[in-house]
Structure 1
Amino acid sequence: MLFDTVAIVGVGLIGGSIGLAIKQRQLARRVVGVGRRQLTLRQARHLGAIDHGTLRLDRGVADAELTVLCTPVDLIARQAAEVAPHCPPGSILTDSGSTKLRIVQQLEGTLPDRVCFVGSHPLAGSEKRGVEEARPDLFEGRVCIVTQTQRTPVQPLKLVQQFWRALGARVVTMSPETHDRALAYTSHLPHLAAAALAVALPERYGDVVASGFRDTTRIAASDPQLWSAIFLENAGPLLEAVACYERGLTEFRLALENRDEQRLLDLWAESKAKRDAVTADGHAAPRAMRVPARHRRRRSRGGPG
């Protein structure tokens, strides 16, 4: 066992899956869930995700060597500061938030010396939510980003990395800044684009949507409150990603306006090559991405083509 007691604050899809994985892999003797509703905690106990549930943060973390904060990103820093004084000496706080820089900035140097925060982000979310959707294999083979700064203690960092690996994840370590820039493109922009596409659908066409629309807008069914908070927390990098996406849309629009078939082929070839360079489980393809020569974009200072 890695720990005697682990506390999970927020026992939903991610928190519940962490609890189930801990229990299945025998990584802790006891898992304590902290939540806002007794009903959720009862469900988590019934599913076997936690051994004990409480509505009180201070009681939930009192014996925890590791506390995992699985709450919305705009609550994590505040909750970490709230629970830290009640944690036992030498305990570690981590999280599952989709943004990192603001959280780390707010916590580094402000927590009691006996407690350490190491940021985490398992890339294993879904448009589904709730502990009833939790499963013990959610992190198997998935990437979990663990953030490191110059002030991150070595041993707590290694223990958090070991924890996620024990849950089945492939751990990647990077700075909070790099995390937020990367996730703006690989997670936050896709959610924004899916939502915008869903909004763009005229109601009169709702009964003839094709599978492409359903596939592309699947994540538009995600929790609006959760994702609004993520967008605002990572607004700077996300705006840069949106600008890049807008340039891509403009490229396609100009090719259409000019009826430039070759330009459309070039754009499609480039997009397909980039998509094919990433495998279904999120790992980079082993070979470098190369756009076939016959489909490479032609550089021109004039109009399309």
Structure 2
Amino acid sequence: MQRYGTVAIVGVGLIGGSIGMAIRARGLADRVIGIGRDTDRLDEARGLGAIDEGTTDPEGALDGAEVVVVCTPTDRIAADVCRFAASSHPDVLITDVGSTKRRIVEAVEADDRARGVFVAAHPLAGSERRGAAAARSDLLDGRVCVLTPTDRTPIDRRDRAARFWSSIGGRVVMLDPDAHDSALARTSHLPHVAAAALALSVPAGTIELAAGAYRDGTRVAASDPDLWVAIFRENPEHLIAALDEYRRHLDRFREALTDDDPGELRSLWSRARALRSRFREPGSR
């Protein structure tokens, strides 16, 4: 397993903190440096064991880093990658954790320097919780990590990125950036919208009557709104298409209820149950 001298993590929250913990738990680097804008949060991350040291000076920290993982909000990633590429060692690998990929990749590939060192990634792991306090060293274990290289991505960087993400527990899958965004609109972004819509549909006065179905159906509606607004705005075309398909299925349930059609209700439910049975919790065998 490859060992690194220095890995820099930009944004040491839930995902960045978990990456740092995984690297340190496996002894994969001499130093893990956290880069952020809030010294208190960096101190917290260091105290939790997510990083060895923290700094608010990106340029100084990036000097000599072999790998830079950008864990900033989705709508800032492309600009951050281009900025960090300009001040990093020429042999650096820069990767990210953004929940959308096409717009990020297009923006980075417009920058000659950044294009040569960047491999876009999305580890499919997370929580409605946020911050380094929610980080875990095993968060990525067995989880799919999607890499979205293009024909302009250097092969050596692609292979290095695959080794890096595999070394911290990820199960690497390669996809086209737009194919990633289309799939994630349905498997992640739509469920977040649906959870929020469900939460909005339940009057506050009836919450005391809610139980497991409400808890499970609305869990991700507790996520950070700024994070999800940015993700939605980065992937509107695919999310709108997913919402249109979701609405068609809701309409079919409504029509079956209006027509008092138990056969159609049972058919819809049975098909949904069969599809749901194919899901396996990430990391499970």
TM-score w.r.t. the length of structure 2 is 0.97
Q: Where does residue 212 of structure 1 map in the other structure? A: 213
Report the residue type matching 1:77 in the other structure: A
C-alpha contact (below 8 Å) 1:13/1:131 kept by paired residues: yes
Q: Deviations over 1:219-273 (max 9, x none)?
A: 0000000000000100000000000000000000000000100000000000000
Report the Cα offset of residue 281 of structure 1. 2.1
Q: Where does residue 290 of structure 1 map in the other structure? A: none
Q: Where does residue 292 of structure 1 map in the other structure? A: none
Report the Cα offset of residue 51 of structure 1. 1.2
| CA spacing shift, 1:234–1:114, aligned 2, 3 Å | closer
Tell me, in whole angstroms, the C-alpha distance in 2 between the residues paired with 1:114 and 1:104.
9
| CA spacing shift, 1:92–1:195, aligned 2, 3 Å | same
Report the residue type matching 1:106 in the other structure: A
Report the Cα offset of residue 161 of structure 1. 0.7
C-alpha contact (below 8 Å) 1:95/1:120 kept by paired residues: yes
Give the SS at the match of 1:68.
strand
Q: Where does residue 272 of structure 2 map in the other structure? A: 271
| CA spacing shift, 1:257–1:102, aligned 2, 3 Å | same
C-alpha contact (below 8 Å) 1:2/1:163 kept by paired residues: no
Q: Deviations over 1:8-39 (max 9, x none)?
A: 00000000000010011111111110011001
Report the Cα offset of residue 82 of structure 1. 1.3
Give the SS at the match of 2:113.
coil
C-alpha contact (below 8 Å) 2:64/2:88 kept by paired residues: yes
Q: Where does residue 96 of structure 1 map in the other structure? A: 97
Report the residue type matching 2:256 in the other structure: A
Instruction: Provide the identity percentage.
Output: 49
Q: Where does residue 228 of structure 2 map in the other structure? A: 227
Give the SS at the match of 1:248.
helix
Report the Cα offset of residue 210 of structure 1. 2.0
Report the residue type matching 1:186 in the other structure: T
Give the SS at the match of 1:112.
helix
C-alpha contact (below 8 Å) 2:93/2:118 kept by paired residues: yes
C-alpha contact (below 8 Å) 2:18/2:136 kept by paired residues: yes
Tell me, in whole angstroms, the C-alpha distance in 1 between the residues paired with 2:59 and 2:22.
24
Report the residue type matching 1:230 in the other structure: I
Tell me, in whole angstroms, the C-alpha distance in 2 between the residues paired with 1:63 and 1:114.
19
C-alpha contact (below 8 Å) 2:109/2:115 kept by paired residues: no
Tell me, in whole angstroms, the C-alpha distance in 1 between the residues paired with 2:37 and 2:260.
56
Q: Where does residue 28 of structure 2 map in the other structure? A: 27
Q: Where does residue 196 of structure 2 map in the other structure? A: 195
Q: Where does residue 144 of structure 1 map in the other structure? A: 145
C-alpha contact (below 8 Å) 1:231/1:238 kept by paired residues: yes
Consecutive unaligned residues of structure 2, counting only runs of 5 or more, are none
Q: Where does residue 5 of structure 2 map in the other structure? A: 4
Report the residue type matching 1:122 in the other structure: P
Report the residue type matching 2:221 in the other structure: A
Instruction: State how many pairs are aligned.
Output: 284
Tell me, in whole angstroms, the C-alpha distance in 2 between the residues paired with 1:79 and 1:235.
22
Q: How does 1:1-305 map to 2 (within 5 A)?
A: 1-112=2-113, 115-281=116-282
Tell me, in whole angstroms, the C-alpha distance in 2 between the residues paired with 1:232 and 1:40.
27
The higher-RCO structure (CA 8 Å, 6+ apart) is 2
C-alpha contact (below 8 Å) 1:141/1:281 kept by paired residues: yes
Higher helix share: 2
Report the Cα offset of residue 41 of structure 1. 0.6
Report the Cα offset of residue 280 of structure 1. 2.1
Report the Cα offset of residue 168 of structure 1. 1.0
Q: Deviations over 1:80-115 (max 9, x none)?
A: 111111101111110000000000000014042795
C-alpha contact (below 8 Å) 1:90/1:114 kept by paired residues: no
Tell me, in whole angstroms, the C-alpha distance in 1 between the residues paired with 2:9 and 2:127.
19
C-alpha contact (below 8 Å) 2:141/2:283 kept by paired residues: no
C-alpha contact (below 8 Å) 1:91/1:114 kept by paired residues: no
Give the SS at the match of 2:33.
strand
C-alpha contact (below 8 Å) 2:125/2:139 kept by paired residues: yes
C-alpha contact (below 8 Å) 1:73/1:97 kept by paired residues: yes
Report the residue type matching 1:163 in the other structure: F
Give me the CA root mean square deviation: 1.4
TM-score w.r.t. the length of structure 1 is 0.90
Q: Deviations over 1:167-211 (max 9, x none)?
A: 111111111011000000000000010011101111221211121
